Amino acid sequence: MIEILQWSTLATCALVAAARIPSALRGENRSLFYIFALMTAAILLSIEAPYVAIDQALGGINLANLLLRFIIFAAIYFIGIRVTRGFGAEGAYRLITGKAGMVVLAVISLVMMAVFFMMDTTGSSAGLSALSERSRYNAILAQYYGAAGRAYPAYVGLVLLPAMVRAVRSRLPVLVRVAAGFLALGGVAIGLSLLFPLVPPEWVAIMFVVNYTAVLCYLLGLALIWAARVRSGKPLSTKRTYTEK
């Protein structure tokens, strides 16, 4: 079931990215193409077979996992910019792109890299599952590393959440409100990922479901925003909706 979820999510993301290529070549909404391309790369690196092949090419010390984390950071950062601009969420935009957002990103990135290089990372292992079994020290560090990797996406997802809830409750077109609903659900799923250290090892499948629920919700939300823009023939703007009473 997990493999089906992984490969189907990869196929969905790759197809959407491919569909955006003509528009990107014309210079239209290139940010959407970059987002879907980054998410495709991230999903590819989360699947065992391609992960191992890529990591072996990088030296077999799980640098592919560190690369995966930064690809996810880049994707969620651009998603945050795209969504806040599209929905007129100026406060959320500042929290992501302003000083506070940059400090959060820098601190999390430094902590994540420091913990990664403190671990014994030899031997390619998708999800670093094999590394946790080597020693209690490695297992503890792997937990901190995973928490750091989830912290920035959770930060952006939770920053976006209030704006998405307002959009769902607004009088925007149905397609846009459905898109906001998917984006809100994705933010909740990412927020729940912070609780992964409390999940028993035998419930590991739940963690995969939560992760891929977040990815699919963001994919669907962005795709619906794109569809709404194409349908209306003009860029999405909700600033006026938010200020109307």
Cβ(190)–Cβ(162) under 8 Å?
no
Token digits of residue 37: 């391309």
Place of tokens 């925003």: 225
Q: What is the CATH number of the domain that holds 108?
A: 1.20.1070
Q: Tell me how many degrees the CA angle 16-96-114 measures, rounded to the nearest 5.
A: 95
Helix (H, G, I), strand (E, B) or coil at 204: helix
Token digits of residue 14: 């790759």
For 125, other C-beta atoms within 10 Å of its C-beta total 22
Q: What predicted TM-score, i.e. pTM, was given to this entire model?
A: 0.88
Show the domain range for 39. Answer: 2-243
Crossing angle for the helix pair 63-86 and 136-168, to the nearest 10 degrees: 10
Radius of gyration of the chain (CA): 18
Q: What is the pLDDT along the chain (245 residues), one digit of tens a residue?
A: 677 778 888 888 899 889 889 888 888 778 888 999 999 999 999 999 999 999 999 999 999 999 999 999 999 999 999 999 888 899 999 999 999 999 999 999 999 999 999 999 999 998 888 888 888 899 899 999 999 999 999 999 999 999 999 999 988 889 999 999 999 999 999 989 888 877 777 777 788 888 888 888 998 898 888 788 777 665 555 454 433 33
- Whether the CA torsion 239, 74, 68, 102 is positive or negative: it is negative
User: What is the C-alpha separation between 80 and 155, in angstroms, rounded?
Assistant: 10
Crossing angle for the helix pair 204-232 and 30-45, to the nearest 10 degrees: 160
Token digits of residue 230: 């194409």
The structural domain count of the chain equals 1
- Whether the CA torsion 105, 109, 110, 111 is positive or negative: it is positive
